[in-house]
Structure 1
Amino acid sequence: MTPVLGPQIGVPVTPTASVRVPAEPGELRYQRCGACDAANFTPTETCRGCSSRALHWAASAGRGSVYSWTVVRRPAAREFGGAYAVAIVDLDEGYRMLTNLVEVEPADIHSGMRVRVDLRPTGGEPVLPLFTPDRD
Protein backbone atom coordinates (compact mmCIF):
# COMPACT_ATOMS: atom_id res chain seq x y z
CA MET A 1 0.00 0.00 0.00
CA THR A 2 1.32 3.44 -0.94
CA PRO A 3 1.49 5.86 2.02
CA VAL A 4 -0.94 8.75 2.21
CA LEU A 5 0.69 11.83 0.75
CA GLY A 6 1.93 14.64 2.97
CA PRO A 7 2.21 18.33 2.12
CA GLN A 8 5.22 19.98 0.58
CA ILE A 9 6.69 22.14 3.34
CA GLY A 10 7.89 25.61 2.42
CA VAL A 11 7.01 29.26 2.48
CA PRO A 12 4.59 30.32 -0.26
CA VAL A 13 5.33 33.31 -2.46
CA THR A 14 3.32 36.22 -1.12
CA PRO A 15 1.79 38.99 -3.23
CA THR A 16 3.08 42.53 -3.05
CA ALA A 17 2.09 44.58 -0.02
CA SER A 18 -0.19 46.87 -2.06
CA VAL A 19 -2.59 44.02 -2.87
CA ARG A 20 -2.18 41.94 0.28
CA VAL A 21 -5.02 41.93 2.77
CA PRO A 22 -4.76 39.56 5.73
CA ALA A 23 -7.45 36.91 5.77
CA GLU A 24 -9.56 36.27 8.82
CA PRO A 25 -8.43 33.16 10.70
CA GLY A 26 -9.58 30.07 8.83
CA GLU A 27 -10.48 31.98 5.67
CA LEU A 28 -9.33 31.62 2.05
CA ARG A 29 -9.64 34.92 0.16
CA TYR A 30 -9.59 35.98 -3.47
CA GLN A 31 -10.39 39.13 -5.45
CA ARG A 32 -13.67 39.75 -7.32
CA CYS A 33 -14.04 42.53 -9.92
CA GLY A 34 -16.82 45.02 -9.27
CA ALA A 35 -16.98 45.93 -12.97
CA CYS A 36 -17.15 42.54 -14.74
CA ASP A 37 -17.60 40.14 -11.76
CA ALA A 38 -14.50 38.07 -12.71
CA ALA A 39 -12.67 36.20 -9.96
CA ASN A 40 -8.98 37.14 -9.74
CA PHE A 41 -6.42 34.89 -8.12
CA THR A 42 -3.50 35.48 -7.38
CA PRO A 43 -4.01 39.02 -6.08
CA THR A 44 -3.48 41.76 -8.63
CA GLU A 45 -3.77 45.54 -9.01
CA THR A 46 -6.15 45.34 -12.02
CA CYS A 47 -8.75 42.81 -13.18
CA ARG A 48 -7.44 40.18 -15.56
CA GLY A 49 -10.81 40.19 -17.34
CA CYS A 50 -11.41 43.90 -18.00
CA SER A 51 -8.41 45.83 -16.53
CA SER A 52 -10.64 47.61 -14.02
CA ARG A 53 -9.23 48.64 -10.65
CA ALA A 54 -12.61 47.97 -8.98
CA LEU A 55 -11.40 44.88 -7.16
CA HIS A 56 -12.69 43.84 -3.76
CA TRP A 57 -11.83 40.94 -1.47
CA ALA A 58 -14.19 38.02 -1.03
CA ALA A 59 -14.11 34.93 1.17
CA SER A 60 -14.02 31.62 -0.67
CA ALA A 61 -16.04 28.64 0.50
CA GLY A 62 -12.85 26.69 -0.18
CA ARG A 63 -14.47 23.96 -2.25
CA GLY A 64 -13.70 22.90 -5.77
CA SER A 65 -12.55 20.09 -8.02
CA VAL A 66 -9.22 18.78 -9.24
CA TYR A 67 -8.44 20.02 -12.76
CA SER A 68 -5.00 18.40 -13.07
CA TRP A 69 -2.39 16.86 -10.80
CA THR A 70 0.95 15.10 -10.58
CA VAL A 71 2.65 13.10 -7.86
CA VAL A 72 6.22 14.23 -7.15
CA ARG A 73 8.25 11.29 -5.96
CA ARG A 74 11.67 13.01 -6.08
CA PRO A 75 11.46 16.24 -4.08
CA ALA A 76 13.75 19.10 -5.08
CA ALA A 77 15.23 19.17 -1.57
CA ARG A 78 15.38 16.75 1.34
CA GLU A 79 13.43 19.22 3.51
CA PHE A 80 10.35 18.61 1.34
CA GLY A 81 10.11 15.05 2.65
CA GLY A 82 8.73 12.14 0.62
CA ALA A 83 6.23 12.02 -2.21
CA TYR A 84 3.58 14.73 -2.49
CA ALA A 85 0.77 15.61 -4.90
CA VAL A 86 0.71 18.97 -6.67
CA ALA A 87 -2.63 19.95 -8.19
CA ILE A 88 -4.49 22.68 -10.00
CA VAL A 89 -7.87 23.08 -8.34
CA ASP A 90 -10.88 24.80 -9.92
CA LEU A 91 -12.56 26.65 -7.05
CA ASP A 92 -16.35 26.96 -7.17
CA GLU A 93 -16.05 30.77 -7.23
CA GLY A 94 -14.43 30.67 -10.68
CA TYR A 95 -10.66 30.73 -10.23
CA ARG A 96 -7.85 28.18 -10.34
CA MET A 97 -5.26 27.61 -7.67
CA LEU A 98 -1.98 25.68 -7.60
CA THR A 99 -1.78 23.71 -4.36
CA ASN A 100 -0.94 20.39 -2.70
CA LEU A 101 -3.40 17.55 -2.16
CA VAL A 102 -3.09 15.87 1.24
CA GLU A 103 -4.69 12.96 3.09
CA VAL A 104 -5.34 11.06 -0.14
CA GLU A 105 -3.81 7.98 -1.75
CA PRO A 106 -2.14 8.74 -5.11
CA ALA A 107 -4.28 6.07 -6.85
CA ASP A 108 -7.47 7.77 -5.60
CA ILE A 109 -6.74 11.17 -7.20
CA HIS A 110 -8.70 11.86 -10.40
CA SER A 111 -9.87 14.77 -12.53
CA GLY A 112 -13.10 16.20 -11.18
CA MET A 113 -12.47 14.88 -7.65
CA ARG A 114 -14.20 17.18 -5.17
CA VAL A 115 -11.86 18.80 -2.65
CA ARG A 116 -12.01 21.31 0.19
CA VAL A 117 -9.42 23.67 1.62
CA ASP A 118 -7.44 22.72 4.71
CA LEU A 119 -5.62 25.81 5.99
CA ARG A 120 -2.46 24.77 7.81
CA PRO A 121 -0.08 27.06 9.70
CA THR A 122 3.61 26.83 8.76
CA GLY A 123 4.90 27.76 12.19
CA GLY A 124 5.10 31.44 11.29
CA GLU A 125 2.58 33.92 9.91
CA PRO A 126 1.91 32.34 6.47
CA VAL A 127 -0.81 29.72 6.22
CA LEU A 128 -0.68 27.15 3.43
CA PRO A 129 -3.99 26.45 1.68
CA LEU A 130 -3.81 22.69 1.09
CA PHE A 131 -6.70 20.60 -0.19
CA THR A 132 -8.18 17.31 1.05
CA PRO A 133 -10.91 15.13 -0.46
CA ASP A 134 -14.40 16.56 0.16
CA ARG A 135 -16.29 13.64 1.59
CA ASP A 136 -19.57 15.52 2.21
Structure 2
Amino acid sequence: MAETKERKLPPPAISEETQAYWDAAGKGKLLVRKCTSCGQAHHYPRTICPFCFSDKTEWVEASGKGTIYSYSVMRRAPVPYAIGYVTLAEGPRMLTNIVDCDFDKLKCDQAVTVVFKPTDGGPPLPMFTPA
Protein backbone atom coordinates (compact mmCIF):
# COMPACT_ATOMS: atom_id res chain seq x y z
CA MET A 1 0.00 0.00 0.00
CA ALA A 2 1.19 3.53 -0.71
CA GLU A 3 2.74 5.30 2.24
CA THR A 4 1.00 8.56 3.08
CA LYS A 5 3.12 9.72 6.02
CA GLU A 6 6.02 12.01 5.21
CA ARG A 7 9.49 11.73 6.69
CA LYS A 8 11.22 14.91 7.80
CA LEU A 9 14.22 15.28 5.54
CA PRO A 10 17.28 17.17 6.80
CA PRO A 11 18.85 19.67 4.41
CA PRO A 12 21.82 18.39 2.40
CA ALA A 13 25.37 19.49 3.09
CA ILE A 14 26.28 21.96 0.36
CA SER A 15 29.82 22.72 -0.72
CA GLU A 16 31.24 25.07 -3.33
CA GLU A 17 31.70 22.02 -5.57
CA THR A 18 28.01 20.99 -5.34
CA GLN A 19 26.32 24.42 -5.15
CA ALA A 20 25.19 24.35 -8.81
CA TYR A 21 23.68 20.88 -8.30
CA TRP A 22 21.56 22.06 -5.36
CA ASP A 23 20.63 25.33 -7.10
CA ALA A 24 19.32 23.28 -10.04
CA ALA A 25 17.44 20.94 -7.67
CA GLY A 26 15.71 24.02 -6.27
CA LYS A 27 14.46 24.67 -9.83
CA GLY A 28 13.30 21.07 -10.33
CA LYS A 29 16.28 20.03 -12.47
CA LEU A 30 18.57 17.03 -11.94
CA LEU A 31 22.20 17.58 -12.91
CA VAL A 32 25.06 15.13 -13.40
CA ARG A 33 28.70 15.77 -14.19
CA LYS A 34 30.06 14.69 -17.56
CA CYS A 35 33.73 14.35 -18.39
CA THR A 36 34.78 16.11 -21.59
CA SER A 37 37.94 13.96 -21.73
CA CYS A 38 36.46 10.43 -21.63
CA GLY A 39 32.76 11.23 -22.21
CA GLN A 40 31.49 9.43 -19.08
CA ALA A 41 28.73 10.91 -16.92
CA HIS A 42 28.96 10.40 -13.16
CA HIS A 43 27.05 10.91 -9.94
CA TYR A 44 27.60 12.00 -7.11
CA PRO A 45 28.65 15.24 -8.82
CA ARG A 46 32.29 16.06 -8.29
CA THR A 47 34.82 17.96 -10.32
CA ILE A 48 37.27 15.09 -10.85
CA CYS A 49 36.12 12.29 -13.18
CA PRO A 50 36.11 8.94 -11.31
CA PHE A 51 36.83 7.10 -14.58
CA CYS A 52 39.87 8.90 -16.02
CA PHE A 53 40.69 11.36 -13.20
CA SER A 54 40.46 14.36 -15.52
CA ASP A 55 39.37 17.68 -14.08
CA LYS A 56 37.65 18.56 -17.36
CA THR A 57 34.04 17.97 -16.31
CA GLU A 58 30.89 19.96 -16.92
CA TRP A 59 27.33 20.05 -15.60
CA VAL A 60 24.67 18.50 -17.84
CA GLU A 61 20.95 18.31 -17.19
CA ALA A 62 19.73 14.73 -16.80
CA SER A 63 16.42 13.63 -18.29
CA GLY A 64 15.11 12.57 -14.88
CA LYS A 65 14.31 9.10 -16.20
CA GLY A 66 15.84 5.86 -14.99
CA THR A 67 15.26 2.30 -13.84
CA ILE A 68 15.50 0.68 -10.44
CA TYR A 69 18.76 -1.28 -10.21
CA SER A 70 18.31 -2.45 -6.61
CA TYR A 71 16.19 -1.44 -3.63
CA SER A 72 15.26 -2.24 -0.05
CA VAL A 73 12.14 -1.31 1.90
CA MET A 74 12.69 -0.21 5.50
CA ARG A 75 9.43 -1.17 7.19
CA ARG A 76 10.59 -1.01 10.81
CA ALA A 77 11.34 2.71 10.62
CA PRO A 78 8.85 5.08 12.27
CA VAL A 79 7.82 6.05 8.73
CA PRO A 80 8.58 3.19 6.29
CA TYR A 81 10.62 4.10 3.23
CA ALA A 82 12.30 2.57 0.21
CA ILE A 83 15.93 3.24 -0.62
CA GLY A 84 17.66 2.04 -3.73
CA TYR A 85 20.00 2.56 -6.62
CA VAL A 86 18.50 4.01 -9.78
CA THR A 87 20.34 3.75 -13.08
CA LEU A 88 19.83 7.08 -14.82
CA ALA A 89 19.13 7.17 -18.56
CA GLU A 90 22.47 8.97 -18.87
CA GLY A 91 24.31 5.98 -17.35
CA PRO A 92 25.30 6.74 -13.75
CA ARG A 93 23.70 4.98 -10.79
CA MET A 94 22.37 7.11 -8.01
CA LEU A 95 21.55 6.18 -4.41
CA THR A 96 18.12 7.61 -3.71
CA ASN A 97 14.69 7.08 -2.19
CA ILE A 98 11.76 5.63 -4.11
CA VAL A 99 8.60 7.46 -3.09
CA ASP A 100 4.88 7.95 -3.71
CA CYS A 101 4.20 4.31 -4.52
CA ASP A 102 3.10 0.94 -3.20
CA PHE A 103 6.34 -0.57 -1.86
CA ASP A 104 5.01 -4.09 -2.46
CA LYS A 105 4.84 -3.42 -6.21
CA LEU A 106 8.42 -2.22 -6.66
CA LYS A 107 10.72 -4.36 -8.78
CA CYS A 108 14.18 -4.19 -10.31
CA ASP A 109 14.33 -2.74 -13.85
CA GLN A 110 11.11 -0.79 -13.18
CA ALA A 111 10.98 2.59 -14.93
CA VAL A 112 11.07 5.60 -12.61
CA THR A 113 11.12 9.37 -12.92
CA VAL A 114 12.61 12.04 -10.69
CA VAL A 115 10.56 14.04 -8.19
CA PHE A 116 11.91 16.60 -5.75
CA LYS A 117 10.97 16.41 -2.08
CA PRO A 118 11.30 19.38 0.30
CA THR A 119 13.85 19.35 3.09
CA ASP A 120 13.76 21.06 6.46
CA GLY A 121 15.20 24.44 5.45
CA GLY A 122 17.36 23.47 2.47
CA PRO A 123 17.02 22.69 -1.21
CA PRO A 124 14.77 19.81 -2.25
CA LEU A 125 16.18 16.29 -2.63
CA PRO A 126 15.87 14.36 -5.87
CA MET A 127 13.99 11.09 -5.37
CA PHE A 128 12.25 8.75 -7.78
CA THR A 129 8.72 7.46 -8.30
CA PRO A 130 7.45 4.77 -10.67
CA ALA A 131 6.93 6.21 -14.16
What is the TM-score when the length of structure 1 is the normalising length? 0.84
Question: Structure 1's 128 and 18: CA in aligned 2 closer, same or farther, altered over 3 A?
Answer: closer
What residue ranges of structure 2 are gaps of 5+ in the alignment? none
Query: Cα offset for 1:8?
Result: 4.2
Identity %: 33
Q: Which residue of 1 aligns with 2:57?
A: 55
The whole-number CA distance in structure 2 between the counterparts of 1:99 and 1:19 is 17
Considering only aligned residues, what root-mean-square deviation do their CA atoms show, in Å? Answer: 1.8
What residue ranges of structure 1 are gaps of 5+ in the alignment? 76-80
Moved more, 64-73 or 36-45: 36-45
What is the identity, as a one-letter code, of the residue corresponding to 2:103? Answer: P
Q: Which residue of 2 aligns with 1:78?
A: none
Instruction: Give the counterpart of 1:4 among 2, 11, 19.
Output: 2
The whole-number CA distance in structure 1 between the counterparts of 2:99 and 2:65 is 14
Q: Which residue of 2 aligns with 1:28?
A: 30
Query: Cα offset for 1:58?
Result: 0.6
Moved beyond 6 Å, runs of 4+: none
Q: Give the match's secondary structure for 1:58.
A: strand
What is the TM-score when the length of structure 2 is the normalising length? 0.87
Query: Cα offset for 1:12?
Result: 5.2
Q: Aligned residues, how many?
A: 127
